[in-house]
């Protein structure tokens, strides 16, 4: 089961990248929200979650429900992700060299270039090309559709990843503060072990 969890974690890193990239400046003004997220793209592979996922943000913490498999919590202040799987198994991750604006918030630079207007799922949107570059790491490039009636919330994002393009759709967006209890994890979280032959 541990090997499967590690494989899943490598695929789930793409989810974290997508969530982080969307929530980082210019979207860091959305400090509390919930939404349903759907991801697609050739880079998803066989280990990333499929279908709709519920996400929540409250201050500097984010939670993603991974279907029936469990959930993850990102603590942006600690630059740490906790993955809680079935039957209370919990793994703690501190990825190195990741292109994750949440984990490298300080010193992150953001470049925005307007790209017209469009409509997504009935929402009138401003479209921008956004490049997020952490202090140490490679830039992440994306195209973002920001819904006017949702305070500029990104209802669609196309992300350029090293494994191919990822498309993320957000719906059922609510700015009501999620319950604080959603952002807890078991006390028995263990560091994620390195997989033999895994890329550093």
pLDDT tens string 60-94: 888 988 877 889 898 877 778 898 987 778 999 87
Give the model's pLDDT for residue 166. 82
| Domain boundaries of the chain, sorted by first residue | 2-187
Helix (H, G, I), strand (E, B) or coil at 36: strand
145 has pLDDT over 90: yes
**Dihedral pair phi/psi, residue 46, rounded to 5°:** -100, -5
Distance CA 125, CA 119 (A): 6
CATH of region 2-187:
2.50.20.10
The answer to whether 66 and 186 are in contact (CB under 8 A) is no
Sort strands 123-133 and 109-120 into parallel, antiparallel or unpaired: antiparallel
The average confidence (pLDDT) of the chain is 76
Distance CA 101, CA 19 (A): 9
Give the model's pLDDT for residue 98. 39
Higher pLDDT, 116 or 69: 116
Give the model's pLDDT for residue 156. 92
């Amino acid at each position: 089961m541990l090997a499967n969890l590690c494989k899943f974690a490598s695929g789930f890193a793409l989810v974290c990248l997508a969530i982080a990239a969307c929530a980082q400046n210019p979207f860091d003004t959305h400090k509390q929200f919930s939404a349903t997220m759907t991801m697609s793209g050739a880079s998803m592979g066989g280990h990333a979650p499929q279908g709709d996922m519920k996400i929540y943000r409250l201050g500097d913490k984010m939670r993603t429900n991974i279907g029936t498999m469990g959930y993850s919590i990102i603590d942006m202040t600690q630059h740490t992700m906790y993955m809680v799987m079935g039957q209370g198994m919990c793994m703690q991750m501190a990825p190195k060299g990741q292109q994750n604006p949440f984990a490298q918030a300080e010193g992150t630079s953001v470049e925005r270039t307007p790209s017209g207007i469009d409509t997504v799922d009935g929402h009138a949107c401003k479209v921008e090309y956004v490049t997020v570059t952490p202090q140490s790491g490679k830039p992440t490039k994306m195209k973002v559709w920001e819904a006017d009636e949702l305070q500029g919330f990104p209802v669609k994002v196309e992300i350029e990843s090293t494994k191919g393009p990822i498309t993320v759709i957000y719906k059922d967006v609510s700015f009501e503060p999620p319950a604080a209890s959603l952002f807890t994890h078991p006390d028995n979280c263990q560091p994620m072990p390195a997989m033999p032959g895994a890329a550093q």
